[in-house]
Amino acid sequence: MKGSPKIIGLLMAWNEEPWIDYAIRNNLRVVDELILAEGYCGPDLDMKSHDRTREIMESYSSHPKVTAVMDVSRGRLVSQGKARTLTAMLSKARFNAPDNWVLLCAADMLYDDTAMQAMREEVRNTDALLLTIPLLYFAINFNHCVHVKGGASLLFRITDGMRICPTEKPKLSNGMFYTDSARKKKILADCPGFHYTWLKPKHRIIQRLQMYSQQRGKSEYFMKWFEEIYLKWDDSKAEELYKRAKEITGHSGFHYWREEKLDIFNGKHPQEVTSHPYSGIDVRTIE
């Protein structure tokens, strides 16, 4: 569809005080409308954030692009709770109409100006249903990242009768996943999203790993990776650590379920994070 479709951002966050303000400010430059939801979507862990995440979200409630600040929905699994929450968030959007777009945002993911412009151009000109964004997963500091070129399907077109399923995948009204449609298209090959997923205090990374353990039932697997690979990472011992990662996870990359190695990043970060407190430190020093 040619024209100027709107982009609706859906952003959920739980205990993300170090990043949430930066992510909101950045995503407000990407989207036409932003819906915010706070809390943990699965069982077992406390639902509400223990830090200032909700307070920071509420501080944007009067912004003209922010339609709602709401609670998440819980599910037996995190993926079920996320699907319910995203569906509820989208139902509140002013621009929830066919041929507008949804951007699945994250509390620790930002875009640079080049990526923002590329997304805008694509949604104006493409006939695709689903657009894939490559990702840079930062770990340890602002100079180390895993470049996931296959990325994630984070931007999708709204269609009549569509629904969002667990694992955050949209389905057409006929039950077909967007990912199975011939109209899927990959974009932004040279301008990925900046995902600061592992630039967190140690206690927050442990929380995140507990969340994954609840979904996948591999608590020992995740904690061994964290203790023996992430915390002990040293560029001079990379090959030795990749070998150990393979023994622990079955994958020979840095990330616990990927094959990509840890790269040195020499580019520019999005403008919102140039003065971030973590920009010049090794975050493994933060408890």
Phi then psi for residue 4, to 5 deg, are -125, 75
- Residue 67 C-alpha from the chain's centroid: 20
Task: Return all residues near 174 (Cβ < 8 A) that are at least 6 apart.
Answer: none
| The pLDDT of residue 217 | 62
CA distance 254 to 248: 11
pLDDT tens readout for residues 181-206: 888 887 778 789 999 999 999 998 98
Percent of the chain surpassing pLDDT 90: 76
Lowest mean per-residue pLDDT among 19-23, 64-68, 72-76, 87-91:
72-76
pLDDT tier at 216, thresholds 50, 70, 90? low
What is the arithmetic mean of pLDDT over 165-193? Answer: 87
Phi-psi region of 133 (alpha: psi -120 to 50; beta: other; left: phi over 0): beta
pLDDT tens readout for residues 246-268: 999 999 999 888 899 999 999 99
pLDDT tier at 32, thresholds 50, 70, 90? very high
CA dihedral 185, 187, 193, 195 (to 10 degrees): 40
| The pLDDT of residue 219 | 64
Residue 104 has pLDDT above 50, yes or no: yes
Tokens 């809390």 belong to residue: 39
CA dihedral 255, 257, 259, 265 (to 10 degrees): -30
CA distance 240 to 144: 18
Task: Return all residues near 190 (Cβ < 8 A) that are at least 6 apart.
Answer: 114
Give the three-state DSSP class for 202: helix
Residue 3 has pLDDT above 70, yes or no: no
CATH code assigned to 7-196: 3.90.550.10
Residue 2 has pLDDT above 60, yes or no: no
Give the three-state DSSP class for 248: helix
CA dihedral 100, 179, 108, 75 (to 10 degrees): 100
Tokens 């507008």 belong to residue: 100
211 or 58, which is more confident? 58
Q: Which of 41, 181, 21, 235 is nearest to 107 (CA)?
A: 21
pLDDT tens readout for residues 135-158: 999 999 999 999 998 889 999 999
| The pLDDT of residue 1 | 45
CA distance 2 to 249: 45
What is the arithmetic mean of pLDDT over 114-122? Answer: 94
pTM assigned to the model: 0.94
What is the arithmetic mean of pLDDT over 122-147? Answer: 94
What is the arithmetic mean of pLDDT over 85-112? Answer: 97
Percent of the chain surpassing pLDDT 70: 96
Highest mean pLDDT among 115-129, 179-193, 198-212: 115-129
CATH 3.90.550.10 domain extents, the chain: 7-196
What is the arithmetic mean of pLDDT over 121-130? Answer: 92
